[in-house]
Amino acid sequence: MDDKTSSLRQSFGELIEKVKSSDEIEQLRVEFLGKKGHVSALMSQLKTVPNEQKKAFGQSVNQLKQEIEGQLKEAHDRIAALEEQRLINSAEDYDVTLPMDIDTGSYHPITLVMREIEEIFRSMGFTVEDFSEITDDYNCFEALNIPKHHPARDMQDTYYLSSGQLLKTHTSAAQNSIMKKYGAPLRAIFPGRCFRNESTDACHETTFFQVEGIMIDEDISISNLIYFMKTMLSEVFGKDVTVRLRPGFFPFVEPGFELDIQCLICGGEGCPSCKNSGWLELCPCGMIHPNVLKYGGIDSEKYTGFAFGLGLTRLAMMQYEIKDIRTLNSGNLKALSQFKGK
């Protein structure tokens, strides 16, 4: 019987030396320790062993079983370590400087232009503020000198929510809370998404972006306003663009202006993007009405200020020569991914 145990030990020893994979280890385990394996077969011979030798025989088979289990575990650990090393080596072989053969994403043109505007105004000492897309009647109208039943409310078709709140129709809706938050003197811009329930065409969307800007201090005048508008446009376009300033009415500014840009799609000749006028309304602006300063808790005797409401979506159209504003909300990745920014 001892001979059989020894020869099994020897043949296992030879085989375990040669294994090269986890699969081969598993095969050996089944061959030697499985239900129908060599060790079970040896143990089943116990009944033929004389009584006085049974104990020694059982101990010697159990001893063999433990040795085989130990060696299987060692072989398993050795192969796992080799496998890990192989993975590390292959990772080291990988050249991270090679160009990738996959598509990279791109920023939306609105994001690109918004970042540019933010950078320009930051460099001129303005802070960039955030404001909720949902607001209320007070912020969107009353605090802007547009009382209930004032005809100016017809200028903007508003989406009202069942809560009585509304989706902001213009970024001017943030003026009051920003004035209350910081007081005067104040230089801030606040970009944001606006919503208007109006029919769409090549230059009108129901959802679009504006950037509001306000500057309040002692002795702020229209010439400060014109300076900032000119600086911003020449920085954004990197070239001279033709603009015109004409009187405009907004209850929250006095005097108020419309700043139009000559259409860069048609060069001023007239096209659907500018409704065939050659000009695009881009940035209404004006001197903040004293009532609006008062509602914002600012002394209108001491301070004056200007405000503007730049049509950011239209600016992006002009900068990237996008003929139809609806492309920007279309989700058409092929069209949108071609804009890479400066």
- Catalog residues that contact ligand FA5 under the rule CB under 6 A: 170, 172, 196, 198, 204-205, 208, 210, 212, 250, 253, 256, 281-282, 284-286, 307-309, 311, 313-314, 325
Toward ligand FA5, which CB reaches closer, 200 or 231?
200
Instruction: Output the smallest distance, CB 101 to ligand FA5, in A.
Output: 39
Instruction: Output the smallest distance, CB 114 to ligand FA5, in A.
Output: 14
Toward ligand FA5, which CB reaches closer, 112 or 261?
261
CA distance 122 to 124: 5
What's the angle, vertex CA 262, arms to CA 258 and CA 266, rounded to 5? 145
CA distance 200 to 191: 22
Toward ligand FA5, which CB reaches closer, 193 or 204?
204
Toward ligand FA5, which CB reaches closer, 67 or 198?
198
Number of CB atoms found within 10 A of residue 70's CB: 10
Tell me the one-letter amino acid at 102. Answer: I
Toward ligand FA5, which CB reaches closer, 69 or 142?
142
Toward ligand FA5, which CB reaches closer, 235 or 324?
324
- The Cα diameter of the chain in Å comes to 119
Instruction: Output the smallest distance, CB 106 to ligand FA5, in A.
Output: 22
Toward ligand FA5, which CB reaches closer, 170 or 187?
170
DSSP string, 110-123: HHHHHHHHHHHHHH
What are the distances in angstroms from CA 113 to CA 19, 37, 271, 340? 63, 74, 23, 11
Nearest residue relative to ligand FA5 (C-beta) = 311
Q: Is 5 exposed, middle or buried (0-12, 13-18, 19+ CB in 10 A)?
A: middle
Instruction: Output the smallest distance, CB 219 to ligand FA5, in A.
Output: 19
What are the distances in angstroms from CA 231 to CA 121, 235, 238, 256? 10, 6, 10, 19
CA distance 234 to 231: 5
Instruction: Output the smallest distance, CB 280 to ligand FA5, in A.
Output: 7
Toward ligand FA5, which CB reaches closer, 38 or 170?
170
DSSP string, 128-165: E----SEE-HHHHTGGGT--TT-GGGGGS---B-TTS-
CA distance 338 to 26: 55
Q: Is 189 exposed, middle or buried (0-12, 13-18, 19+ CB in 10 A)?
A: buried
Instruction: Output the smallest distance, CB 234 to ligand FA5, in A.
Output: 18
Cα–Cα nearest to 185, from 307, 309, 305: 305
Instruction: Output the smallest distance, CB 200 to ligand FA5, in A.
Output: 8
Toward ligand FA5, which CB reaches closer, 9 or 275?
275
CA distance 82 to 21: 10
Instruction: Output the smallest distance, CB 198 to ligand FA5, in A.
Output: 6
